[in-house]
């Protein structure tokens, strides 16, 4: 019997949002404390901002932007700012969006213990589309060790509140915090899937100079995850998030001038590395002992398919996936024909 051709559609990262996202960083704005690992100035390249300067910072940042774009207010605990200031900032964002023609999304990040149904309802009325919660972990013991000040149950409740207010939910995770094991990571991913966010950010814990975590590390009381293990652990969970249509919009901290990395699993292409490992594994499993005759993939996965520095090319070639057999288009899913 001759070989028959089999057609399959595999999961790929969901289509990126149509408009680019302009982040406006408001380091530590509203934060009630400095968390163990956090050094916003070094992580965002922006000076800390006081409440009095928040509006000016947003106004200045958006006046440089050529729209249309979505806007994200990040780097602090937006919902812990005074209510009148939150409103002024959001009015400022919408005013700029009006001048850009198309209305993008308004996003902001905050702590899970700095939201309430009333506050979220107000944000919705004031034009916010997505609230990203800096959950970090759903494990109460891990949260306590990092002095986060809320429990896993509170993080859950906050996720539900965001949904109930009719807002899009974002979840930020920080695998590798002190006491955070691989088992906690698997559990956090389960809980994230159950919370059904629209977007997820994964920031594997790194040691930034000048933080209390840097001191713990220097004293030998904290050991960060290894880079390669982190890539593997993130790669393992990405397809599960993609299958639910969850966009993983960031993996790892963006490189910033003056970023004082002391230790930990940081690489400027960490997301690209994890996504390409995930894709190579998915394809290897799907193709098995067969060979790919033809493949059509979404154009937004092109860089991830071949991998950082074309790291995936040898393993893909063994499956028959070589550039001559691959085309890219604007559809979702990786379509393969195997014999
Ligand atoms: S981790 Fe979040 S809440 Fe903690 S200091 Fe940094 S920005 Fe503020």
- If one residue of 27, 31, 50, 110 were mutated to test the ligand 1 pocket, choosing by the most ligand atoms within 8 A of its CB, it would be 31
Of 238, 267, 296, which residue is a domain's last?
267
Are 119 and 140 in the same domain?
yes
pLDDT of 1 above 50: no
DSSP helix/strand/coil, 216: helix
Residue with the nearest Cα to atom 7 of ligand 1?
76
In a domain, 6, yes or no: no
> What pLDDT, in 10s, does the model give residues 203-246?
999 999 989 999 999 999 999 999 999 999 999 999 999 999 99
What is the span of the domain harbouring residue 315?
277-338
Percent of the chain with pLDDT over 70: 98
Extract the tokens encoding 143: 């949260």
Chain-centroid distance of CA 230 in Å reads: 15
35 C-alpha to ligand 1 centroid (Å): 6
Cα–ligand 1 centroid distance for 282 (angstroms): 35
Distance 34 CA to ligand 1 centre (A): 6
**pLDDT > 90: what percent of the chain?**
87
Pick the atom of ligand 1 nearest to 76's CA: 7
Atom 2 of ligand 1 has which residue's CA nearest to it?
Answer: 76
Q: How many helices (H) and strands (E) does the chain have?
A: 12, 13
Distance 233 CA to ligand 1 centre (A): 24
Instruction: Supply the CATH number for residue 66's domain.
Output: 3.20.20.70
Note every long-range contact of 57-62, with CB atoms under 8 Å and residues 24 or more positions apart, other chains counting. 57/24, 57/26, 58/24, 58/26, 58/89, 58/92, 58/93, 59/92, 61/22, 61/24, 62/22, 62/24, 62/92, 62/93, 62/96
* 225 and 326 belong to one structural domain: no
The pTM of the full predicted model, rounded to 2 decimals, is 0.94
pLDDT at residue 331 greater than cutoff 90: yes
Q: Is residue 3 part of a domain?
A: no
Quote the CA–CA distance of 167 and 198 in Å, as a whole number. 10
Beta bridge partners of 251: 202
Residue-level pLDDT at 52: 83
Please report whether residue 272 resides in a domain: no
75 and 172 part of one domain: yes
Average pLDDT, the chain: 94
How many structural domains does the chain have?
A: 2
> Is 12 within the bounds of a domain?
no
Among candidate residues 136, 160, 161, 164, the one with its CA nearest the CA of residue 150: 136
Which tens digit of pLDDT belongs to each residue from 122-140? 999 999 999 999 999 999 9
Give the mutation target among 34, 46, 79, 135 for probing the ligand 1 site: most ligand atoms within 8 A of CB: 34
User: Between 45 and 138, whose confidence is greater?
Assistant: 138
Q: Are 195 and 255 in contact (CB under 8 A)?
A: no
201 C-alpha to center of ligand 1: Å? 15
Residue 11 lies in a domain: no
Please write the tens of the pLDDT for every residue from 253-297: 987 777 789 999 999 999 999 999 999 999 999 999 999 999 999
Mean pLDDT within 160-182 = 98
267, 298, 320 - which closes a domain:
267
Q: Is residue 10 part of a domain?
A: no
For the segment 309-315, the average pLDDT, to the nearest whole number, is 94
* 1 is a domain residue: no
Give ligand 1 pocket residues (Cβ under 6 A). 28, 31, 34-35, 38, 40, 76-77, 111, 134
Residues 138 and 243 in one domain: yes
What is the 265 CA–ligand 1 centroid distance (Å)? 20
How high is the pLDDT of residue 2? 54
Residue whose Cα lies nearest atom 6 of ligand 1: it is: 38
Per-residue DSSP letters for 303-321?
A: HHHH-GGGTTHHHHHHTT-
Asked if residue 51 and residue 158 are part of one domain, the reply reads: yes
Same domain for 205 and 70: yes
Whether 14 is in a domain gets the answer no
Going by the DSSP 8-state scheme, the letter that residue 81 receives in this structure is S
Please check whether residues 136 and 25 belong to one and the same domain: yes
Within this chain, do residues 191 and 315 fall inside the same structural domain, yes or no?
Answer: no
Between 302 and 18, residue with greater pLDDT: 302
């Amino acid at each position: 019997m001759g070989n028959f051709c089999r057609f399959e559609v595999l999961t790929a990262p969901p289509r990126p949002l149509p408009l680019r996202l302009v982040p406006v960083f408001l380091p530590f704005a509203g934060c009630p404390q400095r968390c163990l690992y956090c050094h916003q100035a070094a992580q965002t390249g922006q000076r800390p901002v006081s409440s009095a300067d928040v509006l000016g910072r947003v106004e200045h940042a958006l006046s440089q932007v050529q729209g249309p774009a979505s806007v994200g207010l990040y780097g602090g605990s937006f919902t812990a700012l005074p209510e009148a200031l939150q409103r002024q900032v959001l009015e400022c964002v919408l005013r700029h969006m009006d001048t850009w023609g198309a209305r993008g999304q308004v996003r902001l990040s905050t702590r899970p213990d700095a939201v309430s149904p009333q506050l979220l309802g107000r944000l919705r009325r004031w034009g916010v589309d997505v609230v990203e919660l800096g959950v970090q972990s759903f494990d109460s013991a891990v949260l306590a060790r990092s002095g986060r000040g809320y429990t896993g149950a509170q993080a859950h409740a906050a996720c539900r509140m965001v949904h109930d207010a009719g807002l899009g939910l974002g979840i930020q995770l920080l695998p590798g915090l002190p006491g955070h094991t691989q088992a906690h990571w698997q559990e956090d991913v389960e809980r994230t899937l159950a919370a059904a966010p629209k977007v997820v950010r994964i920031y594997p814990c790194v040691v930034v100079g000048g933080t209390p975590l840097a001191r713990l590390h220097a004293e030998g009381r904290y050991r960060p995850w290894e880079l390669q293990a982190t890539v593997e652990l993130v790669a393992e969970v990405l397809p599960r998030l993609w299958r639910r249509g969850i966009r993983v919009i960031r993996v790892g901290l963006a490189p910033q001038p003056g970023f004082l990395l002391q230790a930990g699993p940081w690489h400027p292409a960490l997301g690209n590395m994890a996504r390409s490992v995930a894709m190579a594994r998915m394809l290897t499993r799907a193709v098995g002992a067969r060979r790919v005759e033809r493949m059509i993939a979404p154009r937004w996965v092109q860089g991830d398919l071949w991998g950082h520095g074309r790291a995936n090319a040898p393993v893909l070639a063994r499956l028959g996936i070589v550039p001559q057999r691959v085309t890219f288009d604007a559809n979702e899913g990786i379509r393969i024909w195997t014999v």
